[in-house]
Amino acid sequence: MMQCYFNNNPERLPKQGDECYPVQIYGTHMHYPNKVSLASRSLIDKVRSLGVEIDSKSLDLITIATAVTSAETFVLRKDAPDAWSRQLELFIPVYHKELWQGVAEELSSILGFLTGDYWRLNFESTQLELPKPKKSKKAKDKASSLIGLNCVSLFSGGLDSAVGALDMINGSNMDRPLLISHSYKGDGKKQRAIKSLLEGKYGEFSFDISPRIIESRRGKTDVSMRGRSFNFIALAVLGISALRAANNDESISRIIIPENGYISLNPPLTRRRIGSHSTRTTHPFYISKLEHLLNNVGFKISLENPYQLKTKGEMVSECVDKTAIKKAVVLSVSCSNWHRKHIQCGRCVPCLIRRASVFKAGFGKDAPYDAENLNVVKKYKNERDDLLAVSMAIKKHDKDGDFEKWIRQSGPLPQDTQLREQLADVAKRGLMEVAQFLKHEKIK
């Protein structure tokens, strides 16, 4: 079992070994990259810059998310016994040791569902002082900007989150969200471009855990990142804490997760994609279990996906601001391979679903793709895997039509019969949306 140790003070960390990963968290001490790895270096400064008191449990959750993301990044899947499911033991410093140790087994199970790994979580008392808000004018201005906001929404710069933001902020409802973003390199520009289309009141907070591995293992990191939504939601919980403090209102509780129902379920296209080989970042079972755990430790939050029963095409077509969403389509990024060339590949599953949604909406203009012509993609063995998998799924389910059985393969379903039927139907409509697009592209 690979062991990962975390502390803000590198002197309290063990030495790097074949099965031991010491990780310095936060920027409170000098970092020596040849001795320990590093993660969330700037978080304490970011939190202090909010200008409000942050709940200590929220900081614990961010520390846990930092540890999970670091372990996922530093321990390679290819070194696991089955070349996928890693055995990970984490030692995490928190303010509320007993509280978190009491839910460690439950949280390990949730993370296991999300990432496909085996987790063992150990908690110890942190020596880090609770960060105090800055008193600078900039921090006070930031705190003032949070006043009047009443919920948090995840904002990635993708098409779904663009629809979510436009519906909330440009629509006629009373939502005034704090938009939570990962500030990955290259993403910020895209996110700012979409935000320029927003017309109502909102706030923003972005942060990237930025795990950096020890020098001796530079270049040896894993990129599968199945647990990325856990740190996204941890940031959102921190955002709720900030809004409660700024508004003196403990009733603020809603975290909006805008994701189309088909990709949320993400049923396996082929047999070899069953389980965590298909992402489960917003699967309703995961969201429900995580919400239950977070409320058990006292956060009193609500995780909501208002688009759980909508396809991506339906989200785009029904967006409240038609002018803005047409512009956002060109600006947004959905591609799972975008960071390789900083252009959407056009052939991965997220790109195919995205292209199908734009086709359904009848928009004449989309973002540029590296592979515009899918008939050309079919000719290249190293590029056509996702396209063939989608085509196979369409043919298979066009014959048997048992969509509830199909979506059950990606995770447990709710007990409510009507809701199960609705989830199966959104999976059917989502797949048929792609089928119509591929038919238009003359892909057989």
User: Which contiguous run of DSSP H or E holds residue 154?
Assistant: strand 151-154
Q: Helical H runs in 196-348? A: 228-247, 261-265, 284-296, 312-317, 322-331, 338-341
316 located within any domain: no
The encoded tokens of residue 392 equal 């196979």
CA–CA separation, 92 vs 7, rounded Å? 7
CA–CA separation, 139 vs 415, rounded Å? 47
Same domain, yes or no: 243 and 106 = no
327 located within any domain: no
Task: State the average pLDDT over residues 293-312.
Answer: 99
Q: Above 90 in pLDDT, residue 381?
A: no
| 425 Cβ neighbours under 8 A, 6+ residues apart | 309, 403
The encoded tokens of residue 414 equal 């709710």
Q: Which residue range(s) make up the domain with 341? A: 334-440
Q: Which of 441, 43, 131, 99 is nearest to 295 (CA)?
A: 99
Q: Which of 423, 132, 124, 438 is nearest to 284 (CA)?
A: 423
15 located within any domain: yes
Same domain, yes or no: 201 and 292 = yes
Same domain, yes or no: 110 and 145 = no
Amino acid at 393: A
Which of 99, 125, 151 terminates a domain? The answer is 125
Q: Above 60 in pLDDT, residue 275?
A: no
Give the model's pLDDT for residue 209. Answer: 95
Least confident range of 195-199, 256-260, 334-338, 409-413: 334-338
User: Which contiguous run of DSSP H or E holds residue 122?
Assistant: strand 118-125
Split at pLDDT 50, 70, 90, the class of 189 is: confident
Split at pLDDT 50, 70, 90, the class of 271 is: confident
Same domain, yes or no: 378 and 296 = no
Least confident range of 177-186, 292-301, 381-390: 177-186
322 located within any domain: no
User: Is 441 exposed, middle or buried (CB count within 10 Å of its CB: 0-12, 13-18, 19+)?
Assistant: middle
Same domain, yes or no: 282 and 155 = yes
Same domain, yes or no: 285 and 208 = yes
SS3 5: strand
362: left (phi over 0), alpha (psi -120 to 50) or beta: left
| 148 Cβ neighbours under 8 A, 6+ residues apart | 176, 201, 247
CA–CA separation, 420 vs 20, rounded Å? 43
Across 221-237, b (16+ Cβ under 10 Å) vs e yields ebebebbbbbbbbbbbb
Instruction: Tell me the residue ranges of DSSP E strands in 27-110.
Output: 37-39, 87-94
249 located within any domain: yes
Which of 304, 323, 355 terminates a domain? The answer is 304
Domain count, the chain: 3
Task: State the average pLDDT over residues 102-124.
Answer: 98
Same domain, yes or no: 273 and 170 = yes
Percent of residues, the chain, with pLDDT higher than 70: 98
Q: Above 70 in pLDDT, residue 276?
A: no
SS3 87: strand
In tens, the pLDDT along 317-326 reads 999 999 999 9
Same domain, yes or no: 66 and 9 = yes
Give the model's pLDDT for residue 339. Answer: 80
Question: β-strand 254-256 against 151-154: which pairing, if any?
Answer: parallel
Amino acid at 286: Y
The encoded tokens of residue 430 equal 């989502």
CA–CA separation, 239 vs 248, rounded Å? 14
Q: Which of 118, 153, 113, 3 is nearest to 67 (CA)?
A: 3
Same domain, yes or no: 80 and 144 = no
List phi, psi (to 5°) of 209.
-60, -30
Split at pLDDT 50, 70, 90, the class of 277 is: low
Least confident range of 397-401, 417-421, 428-432: 397-401
In tens, the pLDDT along 140-162 reads 999 999 999 999 999 999 999 99
Give the model's pLDDT for residue 185. Answer: 59
32 located within any domain: yes
In tens, the pLDDT along 361-377 reads 999 889 999 999 999 99
389 located within any domain: yes
List phi, psi (to 5°) of 319.
-55, 140
Q: Above 90 in pLDDT, residue 187?
A: no
CA–CA separation, 123 vs 351, rounded Å? 40
Residue corresponding to tokens 């990142």: 225
In tens, the pLDDT along 211-253 reads 999 999 999 999 888 999 999 999 999 999 999 999 999 999 9
In tens, the pLDDT along 13-72 reads 999 999 999 999 999 999 999 999 999 999 999 999 999 999 999 999 999 999 999 999
314 located within any domain: no
Which of 94, 125, 156 terminates a domain? The answer is 125
Domain containing 272 — which CATH number?
3.40.50
Give the model's pLDDT for residue 244. Answer: 99
Rg (CA), the chain: 22
Give the model's pLDDT for residue 24. Answer: 99
Same domain, yes or no: 92 and 153 = no
Q: Are 74 and 23 in contact (CB under 8 A)?
A: yes
User: Is 293 exposed, middle or buried (CB count within 10 Å of its CB: 0-12, 13-18, 19+)?
Assistant: middle
Same domain, yes or no: 163 and 250 = yes
List phi, psi (to 5°) of 292.
-60, -45
Same domain, yes or no: 52 and 167 = no
- Mean pLDDT of all residues belonging to the chain: 95
Q: How many residues does the chain have?
A: 444
